Structure 1
Amino acid sequence: MVEINFGKQHSRPFALEKNRQLLAIRGCAGKPLTHALCCESADTALQGCELVLHIEDADVQVYKLPQHSDPSQRKALLRELPDVRFAGSVLMDPITQDPVLYTENVFLKFIDSLRATQCMAILEELGVMIKQQAPYASNAFFVHHPAVQGTDIFTLAAEWLKRDEIEYCHPELLRQGQRRAIHANQWHLKKTTVTYQVDIDASANVEAAHELAQGEGVVIAVIDDAFDIDHPEFAGEGKIVGAQNFDRRNAKQGPRPKNALERHGTAAAGVACANGKVGASGVAPRASLMPLKLTKPLGARAEADAFYWAADQGADIISCSWGPAEGHWADPADPRHSQVFPLAASTRLAIEYAATKGRNGKGCVIFFGAGNGNECADNDGYSSHPHVIAVGACNDQNRRSAYSDFGKVLWCCFPSGDQQHPDPKFKPATSTPQTRGIRTTDLSTRFVAQTLPAYTDSFSGTSSACPGAAGVAALVLGVNPGLDRLAVRQILADCCDKIGHADDGPLGQYDENGHSHYYGHGRLNAMRAVQRALALKATAG
């Protein structure tokens, strides 16, 4: 077992255990692991093994060993290969049993009062190489100790954290993230009649808001898997700004998808700001899109880099429809429901930088999908970050979507699709969805066999709710750009519709502050939010 502390010296650490039935292999720098494993020795070592995970950027592969297999001989064979840097057991989360990988890089931040020369002197004393100086925090670095391999890096980081000059120090951990989706009617924007003449009146009142605002002059950064930036709904001068690919090994490809599986970002971006010229409108159709491709595991240093880039390149709003893996929404016994997911110090500091330094000090407004596990979002280090607005999903019946996460940190909800549970005893009780989900952009003809630009009617989850809320914030900032992030946050809360149902139980009830664990402050009402922003602007003169 190893312990990791993402906080300061006396913060509570969390533990990871070794799983000896999983085998991790890491290649040497500059030598592709797939080439290193193309030999007879590797074939012998991996006979009967199942590849369960490949982290491309770190060039790490994880294999599941056959039952009753002796891992020591397999490791010995692999360690003899010239281009294999590491072959050993895998760390795992003791609750979820999910593998957790590490890169042997360490995030290290000195206290702010230290001068740059003092930081460099200590780094030289520690015998480390600087991999990156983090731009989103003072005196912060990713470093590498060339003489330390394996889990010894955890011991070393813990020892360094005991020094008074060091504020944060932990190895770079990589975990598989999860997109917040649950796999033509834009009922989320206005009252709509859908298939079979069913009237849906459960929108965020967006169409009415478009009479006053459409997001002009606002930049929405969407951090996601990939983006079809050639889609007609993202066309036009100034629509795409600051695009970047944070998958370093594929940086030349830009933010575009590599294959048809990378379609999540295109759908999320469409909910936020699709032009609406052809087949689907975003909530803020005249806002600009900053597409930031990030498919790396959670905790990678590129994750922090993406937030810094967004703020530094002029994003007003940042939308993130992803987060930690979660329990199955319909299985109350899933152990992931109770898992606390801590946030790496590097990512936490980068979010704080964007929220306090972005927009020339007024702060970027940052949204995260609360999650689709029907579990407490308070345990999620991303959506529970105090500078983040956590967005839940509500359905076409004016109720919480059955899968949507809840808790004290939930700020608001936005219309999305729903799932029906077959057991009538399921709590909260679920109603039959009248719609397939949300209509938005999908990959166009270069990726799918269609003759028209592609759209989907079934985008769902808090993956859809999050960019929808981001779009409402863009409408607000479009009419009153002088607002800081806290003012925008409060406007969204004050202008929500109090939805819900009598059988939601205590978690669905609104307290004296107008907050509910199921709905946050309620379902966003775009028209009311824009009107409030205009009123504040008029009052300010």
Structure 2
Amino acid sequence: MEEAWGRTRGDAATSIVVVDTGCDLDHPDLAAKMDPGRDVIDGDDDPTYKPGEAGVSHGTACAGLVAADTDNGVGIAGGCPACRVRCVRLLDDEPRPISQSVDAFEFALQVNASIVSNSWGYAEPMPVPRVVEDAINRLFEAGRDGKGALILFAAGNDDREIGEDELQAVRGVLTVGAVNHLEEETSFTNRGTSVDLVAPTGTLTTDIAGREGDTSDDYTSLFGGTSSACPVAAGVAGLLVSAAPDLTAGELYDLMIRTARPAPYAAPDESGHDPIFGYGIIDPVAALREVLGDEPPPPPPLDGEGEHAGAEAEQ
């Protein structure tokens, strides 16, 4: 990521929507990055997490991996630290109507989102409802002023094969599985023909600040699963949109697959696909090199004391 950030840290014109449990909008590493979001459960414009619910910090953790601020002297840096974030609250302790999933994608369409990160799925394997599939494909084709929004979904953590009629298999979805720090298969990631890429699990990320969080401070090192791999990939996608804003969602989808690095433990078929590792491990530098060329990145600007700015950026 450091080499990728040497080429671009993203752009404020690139908007990434995180559909999840809502977010801590006042988190010190996220507040400056947030644009107005949506609560499709309550039907209002406040996507703040609801205290006391199980797993309520999930959305804040995903948002941090996507685009936590950098060079602000606190915490971490997200994958696309200069991108903007909008949170959508879709998940809570209760089963929710399918219409609310549609509302989440319609919101992303209305606000011209570039990327939509989804670390959620249905509790039991089921065919994707037609209205949800239509909403995803409409966003993929017509979003971002007609260039389309790139829609990422986590593969899921059930150690099973994804059916060809499930949510992750929708045409407009880039499905992301997880590898560990040794680039090995994880014990939980789902598999199948619809897995496009894998990304490392992002364990260190933002947590709800204060007592409502999972930890005693504003960050957690306990996040994981494909829920964390998906926003890692979404942050990389944000860098690519920022670097090449005229590419369509379909072109970005193909670019991320084409530039993926071969997974060392994969056994790909004739098309280069492995059911666990997809087409390989996401490679932000290779993807950026393709759209920006092979010229080395410029040195960071000097600050007033002759030092390179950004030397203290979070890793």
* TM-score normalized with structure 1 length: 0.51
- Given the alignment, which residue of 207, 212, 220 partners 2:16? 220
Match of 2:268, SS? coil
Counterpart position of 1:306: 104
Q: Distance in 2 between matches of 1:358 and 1:448?
A: 34
Give 1:281's aligned residue. Answer: 77
Q: Residue in 2 aligned with 1:529?
A: 287
Can you give the 5+ residue segments of structure 1 that lack an aligned partner in the other structure? 1-205, 327-338, 417-436, 502-507, 537-541
- What is aligned with 1:240? 34
Distance 1:392 1:451, change over 3 A: closer
Q: Is the 8 A contact 1:298 1:324 kept in 2?
A: no
TM alignment of 1:438-449, pairs within 5 A: 438-445=203-210, 447-448=212-213
1:512 aligned partner, one-letter code:
E
Per-residue deviation at 1:298? 5.4
1:117-141 Cα deviation digits (max 9, x unpaired):
xxxxxxxxxxxxxxxxxxxxxxxxx
CA distance in 2: counterparts of 1:449 and 1:483, whole angstroms: 39
Q: How many aligned residue pairs are there?
A: 287
Alignment of 1:385-534 (within 5 A): 385-416=170-201, 438-445=203-210, 447-448=212-213, 452=217, 454-501=218-265, 508-534=266-292
Distance in 2, matches of 1:446 and 1:212, equals 38
Q: Which residue of 1 aligns with 2:301?
A: none
Aligned sequence identity (%): 32
Q: Give the letter for the 2:82 counterpart.
A: R
What displacement does 1:535 show?
A: 3.6
Matches of 1:246 and 1:221, distance apart in 2? 13
How far the C-alpha of 1:377 sits from its partner, in A, is 1.8
Tell me how far 1:396 sits from its aligned partner: 1.1
Q: More deviation in 349-358 or 378-387?
A: 378-387
Rounded to whole Å, the distance in 2 between the matches of 1:291 and 1:458 is: 21
Letter in 1 for 2:207: D
CA RMSD of aligned residues (A): 2.0
Please give the per-residue CA displacement for 1:56-77, whole angstroms capped at 9, x wherever unaligned.
xxxxxxxxxxxxxxxxxxxxxx
CA distance in 2, matches of 1:451, 1:404: 29
For the pair 1:267 / 2:52, whether they are aligned, the reply is no
Q: Within 1, Cα distance between the matches of 2:51 and 2:220?
A: 17
**Alignment match, 2:49:** 257
- Which protein has the bigger strand share? 1
Aligned residues of 1:480 and 1:533 also touching (Cα < 8 A): yes
Whole-Å separation in 2 of the counterparts to 1:265 and 1:248: 16
Output one character per residue of 1:312-364: Cα deviation in whole Å (capped at 9) or x when no partner.
112100010000225xxxxxxxxxxxx5x111122111111111110111110
Structure 2 unmatched runs, 5+ = 295-315
User: Is the partner of 1:530 in helix, strand or coil?
Assistant: helix
**How many angstroms apart in 2 are the aligned matches of 1:410 and 1:377?**
8
The separation in 1 between residues aligned to 2:8 and 2:78, in whole angstroms, is: 12
Letter matched to residue 292 of structure 1 = V
- Report the CA distance shift for 1:475/1:232 in structure 2 as closer, same or farther (over 3 A): same
Shift of 1:394: 0.5
Structure 1 residue 461 displacement after superposition = 0.6
SS in 2 for 1:324: coil
Structure 1 position 275, deviation (Å)? 0.8
User: Helix, strand or coil: the match of 2:237?
Assistant: helix
Give the deviation of 1:295 after TM superposition.
2.0
User: Residues 147-197 of structure 1, C-alpha deviation per residue, up to 9 Å, x if partnerless?
Assistant: xxxxxxxxxxxxxxxxxxxxxxxxxxxxxxxxxxxxxxxxxxxxxxxxxxx
Match of 2:163, SS state, is: helix
Equivalent residue number for residue 323 of structure 1: 121
